């Protein structure tokens, strides 16, 4: 188990905490794998009734660690884009999942929230899905989940322009349930998780199963993966990663 | 015909009124059957162009009369959960349907609003879908219609926590079209029904048919029914009904 | 090429401008055909990265020129309702499409916005879909796109009552991204189009393809067309067009 993930269980609630605060909790393969295994355990273990997802430090997560993307683009790795296991596991997770989000939630850090059942955010959190900045495409079924949640035009703007929205805006748009001052977010999310843990788990699981049958999302994730893999190796992505490394503005006009 | 339902027709508008105000218009099998038959008549009768759904007293309806659920849970009835005929009939109803809602709209009282075309609510109405309180699951296709209407996270909160929203919130979220002071709701809904009755009925019906083909909802209602029947006989539901009878807080931790 | 359409290309942005301001830019077959051909050209031409859709004069467009509908209703034309080519072309258009909307956007003028990726509107723009006023039905897949965007009840009200919403309301409801004073709309939309043109086109196109696969919309357009053709020849439509010609209130109670 990686030190970059903390997992504890208390009174029926499993708390999974991103714990790489010096890197804004950017997600590594070890963190993805550990979190996916924790969800699988939570699903199988009758004593665990709810999972709470949160973070150490001032960020929720900056998303996928860019070194993984860059390696795939450079051809120095033959791995499929990592995080897929996490994404499919969270899509299928069958018990209530609560998130407490402060600071930035970027890329998969934002799209995983679309798979949570209750979302608590800091008023000044910053949520963004800047896949297009890197010449990539949305993942985690967010290409259908985000338009469903906030309407096509707003979703297109978030994807195409890559600009963040605040937690307050996310609450207004229905991405989050509740927005609060940053220091109240984790306690409130923990309280909500405890409350859910006292409710009838069978009824909650059946309700979730009726509301979000996983197959539609898993199919979309598969489709997105094809585009994503193709994009990772594109000339546009090469330009995006080069510009990132060289700390300059990318120029997509020639590629 | 039960005395707990009033039905009148005026100028092309059929008005169906829940009329069991001393029981907050809790719905009995007679009321479901009478209302379903009225909708069937309205569909078949060319002179009826619009249906208005409203209530006597200070509540819209407290939802399914709990004695029906309790009997099914206790095994003293072999009937499928009643209300199914009403739910399928309202899902398929092919003419414009307007609702005027004051006071509480609980359970099916709220979910039937998702099948209405125009909804007028009192600012201080209280809408809730507390199926999980009884260890049950959403019905009337609300497991897909409510997330479509207000987004997944808000819908999960309404179902999982069972907390009411006000009429004003319902209007804000797009569940209702208009919110008003309670004493203005029925007159305004009646006015809207009259206005619709003067519009081209064939065009309204064709528009409704294009916007909401019933089959998707009927399929979901069938799926929900399987879960619902299973839930009604669950140990969780037994605990919920026992706690209700004994006026105590249910304890789901052991079941 | 008709004089009622202006098309220019600058820095990767094709600007298509409705240019029949003395008729509130009501759309003729020549305008539909010209705009559809322009989109096809934009799709095929690598140097064009974004399309901006806007208008001369104080209206976006009053929608389909009514003479076309009236001819079809009178049986003096055997043409299918025109605009279908435009509608299918805009549904399938695979590059970013930005709209700048001032004044009225009626009927297809409003429904085409549901196919745009970024929409800028004047605060006091007036958007309406009054197909039912003419005893017709929604088109351009708006019978599914509008409910998806603003919820079923609000969409039904817009279709059934034919009443306009303002640009500010459209922004609030997620139909538009940004609302502004009228004189700032076109410059802001043009700026957004330029900004999109500097982003990685392949990534934008792949994102759009994932978010809105055209087939669902094309299927719905086909279904709507069947209803639409039937409606155009209905007695209700005859009454609506007669009342329009005779400048009187239609009476649908007898037809």
Residue A87: exposure state from Cβ atoms within 10 A (0-12, 13-18, ≥19): buried
Strands A104-106 and A126-128: parallel
Strands C118-122 and C178-180: parallel
Q: In C, which residues are within 8 Å of A233 by CB distance?
A: none
Cα separation, B149 vs B173, whole angstroms: 8
Contact C75, C233 (CB under 8 A): yes
Task: Report the pLDDT value the prediction gives residue C74, as an integer from 0 to 100.
Answer: 72
Average pLDDT rounded to a whole number, residues B162-175: 97
Cα separation, C55 vs B128, whole angstroms: 46
**Which CATH number is correct for C5-181, 3.90.226.10, 3.40.50.1820, 3.10.150.10, 3.40.50.720?**
3.90.226.10
Instruction: Report the percent of chain C where pLDDT is more than 90.
Output: 90
Distances from the Cα of C66 to the Cα of B46, C23, C83, C84, C230, angstroms: 30, 11, 12, 15, 17
Cα separation, B7 vs B27, whole angstroms: 15
CB atoms within 10 A of CB B77: 16
Q: In B, which residues are within 8 Å of A200 by CB distance?
A: 132, 135, 236-237, 239-240, 250, 252, 255
Interface-testing mutation among B192, B211, B212, with chain C (most C C-beta atoms within 10 A): B211
Distances from the Cα of C9 to the Cα of A222, A251, C41, C47, C50, angstroms: 37, 20, 11, 9, 10
pLDDT for C80 beyond 60? no
Q: Say what angle helices C214-232 and B201-211 make with each other, to 10 degrees.
A: 170
CB contact under 8 A, A200 and B155: no
Residue of chain C minimizing CA distance to B149:
C151
Q: How far is B181 from chain A (nearest CA, A)?
A: 25
Cα separation, C249 vs B195, whole angstroms: 13
Which stretches of chain C sit within 8 Å of chain B by CB?
131-132, 134-138, 143-144, 147-148, 150-157, 159-161, 220, 223-224, 227, 230-231, 234, 236-237, 239-240, 250, 252-253, 255
pLDDT for B81 beyond 80? no
| Between B72 and B35, residue with greater pLDDT | B35
Task: Report the pLDDT value the prediction gives residue A130, as an integer from 0 to 100.
Answer: 97
Interface-testing mutation among C210, C215, C216, C217, with chain A (most A C-beta atoms within 10 A): C210
CB contact under 8 A, C160 and B207: yes
Q: In B, which residues are within 8 Å of A177 by CB distance?
A: 153-154, 157
Task: Report the pLDDT value the prediction gives residue C66, as an integer from 0 to 100.
Answer: 79
CB contact under 8 A, B174 and C150: yes
Residue C194 sits at φ, ψ, to 5 deg, of: -60, -40
Confidence of residue C1 (pLDDT cuts 50, 70, 90): confident
Q: In C, which residues are within 8 Å of A158 by CB distance?
A: none
Which strands sit side by side in the sheet containing A104-106, from one edge to the other? A104-106, A126-128, A165-166
Q: Given B119, B201, B211, which is nearest C143 (Cβ)? A: B211
Q: In A, which residues are within 8 Å of C145 by CB distance?
A: 152
Contact C143, C233 (CB under 8 A): no
Task: Report the pLDDT value the prediction gives residue A66, as an integer from 0 to 100.
Answer: 79
Cα separation, C99 vs B91, whole angstroms: 37
Interface-testing mutation among A110, A211, A213, with chain B (most B C-beta atoms within 10 A): A211
> For each of chain A's 255 residues, which pLDDT tens digit applies?
789 999 999 999 999 999 999 999 999 999 999 999 999 999 999 999 999 999 999 999 999 987 766 776 677 665 555 689 999 999 999 999 999 999 999 999 999 999 999 999 999 999 999 999 999 999 999 999 999 999 999 999 999 999 999 999 999 999 999 999 999 999 999 999 999 999 999 999 999 999 999 999 999 999 999 999 999 999 999 999 999 999 999 999 988
Task: Report the pLDDT value the prediction gives residue A81, as an integer from 0 to 100.
Answer: 54
Cα separation, C95 vs C209, whole angstroms: 9
Task: Report the pLDDT value the prediction gives residue C79, as an integer from 0 to 100.
Answer: 55
Which stretches of chain C sit within 8 Å of chain A by CB?
12, 96, 114, 116-119, 145, 148-150, 173-177, 195-196, 198-204, 206-212
pLDDT tens digits, residue range B218-231?
Answer: 999 999 999 999 99
Token pair for B87: 């739910």
CB contact under 8 A, B199 and C152: no
CB contact under 8 A, A202 and B159: no
Cα separation, C116 vs C250, whole angstroms: 34
DSSP string, B164-220: -EEHHHHHHHTS-SEEE-HHHHHHHHHHHHHHHHTS-HHHHHHHHHHH--HHHHHHH
pLDDT tens digits, residue range C9-44?
Answer: 999 999 999 999 999 999 999 999 999 999 999 999
Q: In C, which residues are within 8 Å of A220 by CB distance?
A: 210
Instruction: For chains B and C, count residue pairs whose Cβ atoms are closer than 8 Å.
Output: 101
Task: Report the pLDDT value the prediction gives residue C77, as an integer from 0 to 100.
Answer: 63
Q: In A, which residues are within 8 Å of C199 by CB distance?
A: 132, 160-161, 252
Q: Given A118, A149, A207, which is nearest B138 (Cβ)? A: A207
Residue whose tokens read 């197959």: A215
Kindly report the average pLDDT of chain B as a whole number: 95
Kindly report the average pLDDT of chain C as a whole number: 95
* CATH architecture under which domain B1-181+202-255 falls: Alpha-Beta Complex (3.90)
CB contact under 8 A, B236 and A202: yes
pLDDT tens digits, residue range C151-180?
Answer: 999 999 999 999 999 999 999 999 999 999
Interface-testing mutation among C107, C131, C137, with chain B (most B C-beta atoms within 10 A): C137
Average pLDDT rounded to a whole number, residues C48-73: 89
Residue of chain B minimizing CA distance to A210:
B143
Which strands sit side by side in the sheet containing B118-122, from one edge to the other? B5-10, B13-18, B50-55, B97-101, B118-122, B178-180
Closest CA to B185 of B84, B70, B55: B55
pLDDT for B139 beyond 80? yes
Q: How far is C241 from chain B (nearest CA, A)?
A: 12
Instruction: Write down the pTM of the prediction.
Output: 0.96
Cα separation, C110 vs C121, whole angstroms: 11
């Amino acid at each position: 188990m990686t030190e970059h993930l903390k997992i504890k269980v208390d009174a029926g609630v499993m708390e999974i905490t991103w714990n790489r605060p010096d890197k804004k909790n950017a997600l590594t393969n070890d963190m993805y794998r550990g979190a996916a295994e924790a969800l699988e355990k939570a699903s199988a273990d009758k004593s665990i009734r709810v999972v709470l997802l949160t973070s150490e430090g001032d960020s929720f997560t900056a998303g996928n660690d860019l070194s993984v993307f860059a390696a795939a683009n450079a051809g120095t790795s033959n791995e499929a884009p990592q995080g897929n296991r996490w994404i499919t596991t969270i899509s299928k997770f069958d018990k209530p999942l609560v998130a407490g989000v402060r600071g930035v939630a970027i890329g998969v850090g934002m799209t995983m929230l679309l798979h949570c059942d209750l979302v608590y955010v800091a008023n000044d959190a910053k949520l963004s899905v800047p896949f297009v900045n890197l010449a990539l495409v949305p993942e985690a079924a967010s290409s259908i989940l985000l338009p469903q949640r906030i309407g096509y035009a707003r979703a297109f703007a978030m994807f195409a322009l890559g600009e963040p929205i605040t937690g307050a805006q996310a609450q207004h748009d229905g991405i989050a349930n509740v927005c609060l001052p940053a220091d109240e977010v984790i306690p409130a999310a923990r309280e909500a998780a405890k409350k859910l843990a006292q409710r009838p788990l069978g009824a909650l699981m059946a309700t979730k199963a009726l509301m979000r049958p996983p197959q539609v999302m898993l199919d979309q994730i598969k489709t997105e993966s094809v585009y994503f893999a193709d994009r990772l190796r594109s000339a546009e992505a090469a330009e995006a990663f080069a510009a990132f490394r060289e700390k300059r503005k990318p120029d997509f006009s020639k590629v």
